[in-house]
Amino acid sequence: MELTTVWFVLIAALFTGYFILEGFDFGVGALLPAIGRDDRERRALLGTIGPVWDGNEVWVITAGGAMFAAFPAWYATLFSALYLPLLLILVALILRGVAFEYRGMRDDPRWRARWDAAIVFGSTAPAFLWGVAFANLTRGLPLTPDGDYAGGPADLLHPYALLGGLVTLTLFVTHGAVFLALKTMGELRARALRTAARVGPVALTALAAFAVWTLTVRSSPAAVATAAAAALTLVAALAANRAHREGWAFLGTALTIGLLVVTLFATLFPHVLPSTLGAGGLTVDNAASSPYTLRLMTWVAAIFTPLVLLYQGWTYWVFRKRVSVGDAGY
């Protein structure tokens, strides 16, 4: 396998890990006022993601760094074209991180309410905007023959992109609700199960529509298979949630998100950024770094990736127990 293909697959794997792990973070933040009825309950909800949310964000930083090093032309064009949504995502993530740290610094209901609103915004906005960004990546952008972006911010907000945003938002909320059911007890767990049962069918409908639309625009046998598998795993997750088997439900929503990301990357290959102007776009070959750079990156990744995975797995194992109202939190 060519190193350009290897690094395309690795970047897809990094984004897959990011959306699975950060997806339930976003879902928990978006559901904070819906499931947490008072400050004690909201502290418990935030306690479920407190030890892991910042580690989950490392995945997208690594994915961006890998794009920059392995496919600099892809990185430059994509970040130029999607500058506004990516900037909004960055601002929302900064605001959310600050809110996690600041909400408990004063014993004032209004103070905490403001930071809770910041957490909701900082979770909901990226959950929607990532879908918009990846829908544009899959559909393609207006690129010149030199690979420069020839559109404007309004060109990113077409119906297909907005549907992509709805898919990621509803999927992440469902994923977060199932995670809360897995990590809490008593009434919080019951509310989380009910929330997943309500939002899940909306996510399934949006996912099915988005998958069909995607495959009519750009398709491959692998993409068809993974899109069908994504829908089936979400159906299985909702069935497990109804049976109060939240562990299996969480596995199902995680697989759904992962298979959706794989579907999008499968529709792209061998392109990394198609052009809607018929100019050819960027491929894994014409957007890649030199062979020497890719070989060096491969050795570095082979050494350090297992260490990072072991560390993050250890973190989840240490903080695997359920959280109850009254536990120390945010």
Residues 259-293 pLDDT 10s: 999 999 998 888 888 888 776 788 888 888 888 88
Question: Residue 139: its pLDDT value, please?
Answer: 86
Closest CA to 249 of 192, 328, 287: 192
Write out the two tokens for 229. Answer: 């598998």
Other Cβ atoms closer than 10 A to 178:
32
DSSP secondary structure, 250-261, as one string:
HHHHHHHHHHHH
Spell out the domains of the chain, with CATH numbers in brackets: 3-318 (1.20.1630)
Phi, psi (5° rounding) for residue 283? -120, 175
Helix pair 186-217, 109-139: axis angle to 10 deg = 20
Phi, psi (5° rounding) for residue 17? -60, -40
**DSSP letter assigned to residue 327:** S
Is 328's pLDDT higher than 60?
no
Residue 322 to residue 192: CA distance in whole angstroms: 13
Write out the two tokens for 50. Answer: 């407190």
* Number of helices followed by number of strands (H, E) in the chain: 13, 2
Write out the two tokens for 222. Answer: 């692998």
Residues 148-191 pLDDT 10s: 777 777 778 889 999 999 999 999 999 999 999 999 988 999 99
Residue 312 to residue 58: CA distance in whole angstroms: 10
pLDDT grade for 327, boundaries at 50, 70 and 90: low
Q: pLDDT over 70 for what percent of the chain?
A: 97
Write out the two tokens for 56. Answer: 């989950």
Write out the two tokens for 263. Answer: 């579907």
Is 248's pLDDT higher than 80?
yes
Instruction: Check: CB of residue 89 under 8 Å from CB of residue 130.
Output: yes
pTM, to two decimals: 0.92
Question: Residue 190: its pLDDT value, please?
Answer: 92
Within 103-185, where are the H helices?
109-139, 159-183
Other Cβ atoms closer than 10 A to 109:
10
**Core vs surface per residue 12-33: b (16+ CB within 10 A) or e:** bbbbbbbbbbbbbbbbbbbbbe
pLDDT grade for 329, boundaries at 50, 70 and 90: low
